[in-house]
Structure 1
């Protein structure tokens, strides 16, 4: 393949060869169900995912006609494992355990995925069980109340992890009232408040044929996959003969973000301060996303990065320090993280910001670009040895990006990034309003100068 391949929603069939001679096929059924596969030569296992483009950002507050659905996406992810008309929760677990398979689910801000990894001979079983879970969950009321307690324990566990807690506060601080700023799992308050009927309505409104995307990577025959998915969806009562277009992809125009706060401090009597500092980034479809990957690799991803070398190696101020750049349909973040002693937190925050400003002012060298290209290309190649990664790549290509780029195309895009591209993007980042979130034995006063210098006004571009 030469260049990325577009995934038009209205195109019924698509087939092409990708890097490594894998065969990618895509079928859009008349009902709007989308089925994608990547057949990998020599593979003996396969990973399958059932996706919906519904995540925590899509939950709604209560209004005059409907109760709040906050927390329902994560709640529903748990409940789909709790039994159907044909299978108990134990039956579902045994189906995969008996063949040495793996099964799980993930709720994200913009999608939910139920997935399994099995040997090639067990793929038909995985299709059958996941289709049953997806279409026919009972959402039993007793199980609902039991799982409410389980989710509250999960949230409590995450809250006890200072890095997780700081990360949640960071998203809230940067993204403010935007739905992406809310925690994926909900809060104790929303989980206690959400009703079984609200989750049931959420299930019925979003788990429909034209919402469903099925992706499989590894040892898979596409025609057999389409036949199996069709058989089990129709067997569950779905009428796939009714014509419907796939749900449209999200708007990819950058949202107007008003940051939530400049500084967010959560006091905890622990040994380290877990510190996040950053601002808005790029949307997932921005043409500069590859430049962002190169910038991130040079600045804070890896042991040779500027951030790691300055904060840890030269100064010994932190054990863990890095940068990251998540991207969503209409917003993104660029963040810096460090865990350090409370007495050093202010200094570390200043140094992290200084390093970013230096990069924006002075740019990067061709050697750094070359190293970043090698790092990104090698990491991508290694990741694609796993069918999980390939399955997820298909899902993101279909749901978010609307195009498929294989390893060769990714390398070509990286090779086109120049030092000027990186410096210009870094400059646009440092010109934006920054936020800081920290959990530990610290206070806002420690960081006041850092945020004031970085954000003289919230009207920065």
Structure 2
């Protein structure tokens, strides 16, 4: 079942395996989406704010990820230890994630402990204090995190490739910021960023598992009424982020980063597709054939037949209005040119020659299994609701997804690959 999300109204639908998906907009503009899964005793719940690294002003660069850390460091009601021990006491889990377009604070608990999770997460998102002393502690922690990433050549090549294929655009910046930005971050700028984005009309709450929708709406509303936010004003939800495809220039050619490594890291790629593109399932199948798993063309040609690399694969990254793709390999520095040539040849081949019936059948089986098995987790279903609300503007259940996958033809794969192959090419290499 495919359902377009109306930004302002409530909806109910029966999804796969007897689960029920519901959506409510509270008077304050807060959106609550649930998927009740019969027989499940746990609940995954996420508090989503549609702000990521792409939305930061230059003087606030790194603030979104900084806030991900700081919201665990105390509120008007809770200390850092109170937040940490709340979920440990009930055997639950909590964490957060920052992306280029959203931030999510999430937890997984027993169904009976959902009120606790709501209370703590609401407190964190609405009433964090951003204590100056805690900010200095977390500044040091984030600098260590950035240093760790800079020591990982795979992270380095991924980050530099993104900046190359999204030349000059905020989407091409590292999510965590740079050492210079974090060292310069002022508490007032981070606080202003927090107050601008963390407000009722920007908050989306999603939950999946053993959850009753009406009960969740009630306890969420009660928690919000007790928060720092002004809940007296009625407000419409914030508009869905622009989904029209944006043309972002590629800094074509080869860029080399020198690092003291034994193995070179290579990515070849270019512009891809936005997250909601109608060809996204065909794109996933194309990657399955080209570079996902041991039976893929890249693995068979580069590793099995030629012995040029240990690890090789293809990938895509999609956002609301843009995307990119890449072919990766890790190899000896002396083999970079040969490996890059093989990757380019394989991209051209899949863009011009139809894939075989055997390859298409295997790719569909791989995607079907990964989709269904992935949705066995409450956290995956919770995240699916977040993506439906913030990125795609529609909910697609598993049955409809599988039907769309089954309908894809070999011609669709060639057409999608040709879209990618027509992009300007960027090559990023990390090498000694």
2:346 and 2:57 map into 1 onto residues whose CA distance is: 40
The answer as to 2:309 corresponding to 1:309 is no
C-alpha deviation, 1:278, in angstroms = 0.5
User: Could you tell me which residue of structure 1 aligns to residue 28 of structure 2?
Assistant: 31
Contact in 1 for aligned 2:49/2:197 (Cα 8 Å)? yes
Where do 4+ consecutive residues of structure 1 move more than 2 Å? Answer: 237-241
1:19 equivalent in alignment to 2:16: yes
Cα contact 1:173–1:262 (8 A) shared by 2: no
Q: 2:45 aligns with which of 43, 48, 57?
A: 48
Deviations 1:113-160 (A, max 9, x none): 000111111111001000000000000011111111111110000110
Q: Is the 8 A contact 1:297 1:372 kept in 2?
A: yes
Partner residue, 1:64: none
The partner residue of 1:124 within 112, 115, 122 is 115
| Map of 1:449 onto structure 2 | none
List aligned pairs for 1:341-380, cutoff 5 A: 341-380=332-371
Q: In the alignment, which residue of structure 2 is the partner of 1:191?
A: 182
In structure 2, C-alpha distance between the alignment counterparts of 1:21 and 1:437, rounded to whole Å: 47
RMSD over aligned Cα atoms: 1.0
Contact 2:252 2:424 in 1 (8 A): no
Report deviation, 1:261.
4.6
Report the secondary structure of 1:263's partner residue. strand
TM-fit CA distance, 1:101: 1.0
Match of 2:330 among 339, 350, 359: 339
Does the Cα contact within 8 Å between 1:177 and 1:260 map onto a contact in 2? no
Higher mean alpha-carbon deviation, 261-270 vs 192-201, is at 261-270
Report what 2:63 is aligned to: 72
Q: Deviations over 1:87-120 (max 9, x none)?
A: 0000000001111111110000000000011111
Q: Find the partner of 1:381 among 366, 372, 384.
A: 372
Given that residues 252 and 425 in structure 2 are in contact (C-alpha distance below 8 angstroms), is that contact kept between their aligned partners in structure 1? no
**Rounded Cα–Cα distance in structure 2 between residues aligned with 1:382 and 1:299:** 22
- Pick aligned residue for 1:113 from 91, 96, 104: 104
The residue that corresponds to 1:8 in the other structure is 6
- Work out whether residues 38 and 390 of structure 1, in 8 Å CA contact, stay in contact via their aligned partners in 2: yes
Tell me how far 1:262 sits from its aligned partner.
Answer: 2.1
1:196 CA drift (Å): 0.4
Q: Which residue of 2 aligns with 1:250?
A: 241
Q: How far off its partner does 1:312 sit?
A: 1.2
Structure 2 gap segments, 5+ residues each: none
Once the 2 structures are TM-superposed, how far is the Cα of residue 366 of structure 1 from its aligned partner?
2.3
2-side partners of 1:98 and 1:208: how far apart? 29
Q: Distance between the aligned counterparts of 2:394 and 2:219, measured in 1?
A: 25
Q: CA deviation at 1:239?
A: 3.5
Q: Deviations over 1:33-58 (max 9, x none)?
A: 00011111111111110000100000
Q: Aligned equivalents of 1:321 and 1:252: distance in 2?
A: 31
Corresponding position: 1:140 with 2:138: no
Structure 1 residue 295 displacement after superposition: 0.7
Q: Provide the C-alpha distance between the structure 2 equivalents of 1:379 and 1:252, rounded to a whole number of angstroms.
A: 26
Query: Which whole-Å CA distance do the structure 2 matches of 1:27 and 1:366 have between them?
Result: 44
Equivalent residue number for residue 310 of structure 2: 319
Q: Which moved more, 1:72-81 or 1:414-423?
A: 414-423
SS in 1 for 2:76: coil
**Residue 309 of structure 1: how far off its partner (Å):** 1.0
| 3-state secondary structure, aligned to 1:122 | helix
Q: Which residue of 2 aligns with 1:206?
A: 197
Residue 191 of structure 1: how far off its partner (Å): 0.7
Residue 104 of structure 1 corresponds to 95
Confirm whether residue 409 of structure 1 aligns to residue 400 of structure 2: yes
Shift, 1:367, TM fit: 2.2
Aligned residue for 1:325, secondary structure, equals strand
**Unaligned runs of at least 5 residues, structure 1:** 62-67, 442-461
Check whether the contact 1:39–1:219 (CA below 8 A) recurs between aligned residues: yes
Using the alignment, how far apart are the partners of 2:428 and 2:210 within structure 1?
A: 44
Residue in structure 2 matched with residue 453 of structure 1 by the alignment: none
Partners of 2:139 and 2:228 in 1: CA distance: 29
Supply the distance in 1 between the matched residues of 2:88 and 2:419 (Cα, whole angstroms). 50
- Per-residue deviation, 1:252: 1.1
The match for 2:157 is 166
CA distance in 2: counterparts of 1:76 and 1:237, whole angstroms? 17
Give the distance between the partners of 2:251 and 2:61, measured in 1 at CA: 19
